[in-house]
Amino acid sequence: MIEEDTVKLLRECNSGIKMGVESIDEMLPKVKDSGLRSALEESRQAHGKLGDRTHSLLNEYHDEGKDPSPMAKGMSWMKTNMKLLVEEDSDKAVADLITDGCNMGMKSLNRYLNQYQAAEEQVKDIAKDLVGLEQDLVKDVRPFL
């Protein structure tokens, strides 16, 4: 049970990190403000480091991880591109989209922490670190809303 919950929580963290990095990568070319760009780039780098940790642990469990669902990726892509097409202020739109994405990520991660309570503490800590990254990013983009 411990190993099963550990791997499942790692997969969800891995998937969430991939989704976050892909979203940031998709929006960075549309960002005009250097402060917003810097916040996104720093968060992307922090997500990447955490992604490396999850990937390394998944390898130890001989697991390939989990990609974000095609439906979630498609919906995110559609929402992002529609909002950026309609909004005149792309930085405001990016900050709004990032805030929504982070809030969804935090909600999901907390649900998975509750669901996979038998997971190893180091993996729970990774999930909590990821929630912290999301909280920090929401705070960093708030001035651009």
Q: pTM score > 0.95 for this model?
A: no
Domain CATH code at residue 84: 1.20.1260.10
* Crossing angle for the helix pair 2-27 and 34-60, to the nearest 10 degrees: 150
Share of the chain above pLDDT 90, in %: 79
pLDDT confidence tier of residue 65, bands split at 50, 70 and 90? confident
The parent domain of residue 13 ranges over: 2-144
For the residues of 22-87, what is the DSSP string, one character each? Answer: HHHHHHGGG---HHHHHHHHHHHHHHHHHHHHHHHHHHHTT----PPPHHHHHHHHHHHHHHHHH-
Q: Which residue has the higher pLDDT, 1 or 145?
A: 145
- Whether the per-residue pLDDT at 79 is higher than 90: the answer is no
- Looking at the structure of the chain, the number of domains it has is 1
Q: Which residue has the higher pLDDT, 105 or 77?
A: 105
What region, left, alpha or beta, does residue 62 occupy, with left being phi > 0 and alpha being psi -120 to 50 degrees?
left
Write out pLDDT tens, residues 110-140.
999 999 999 999 999 999 999 999 999 999 9
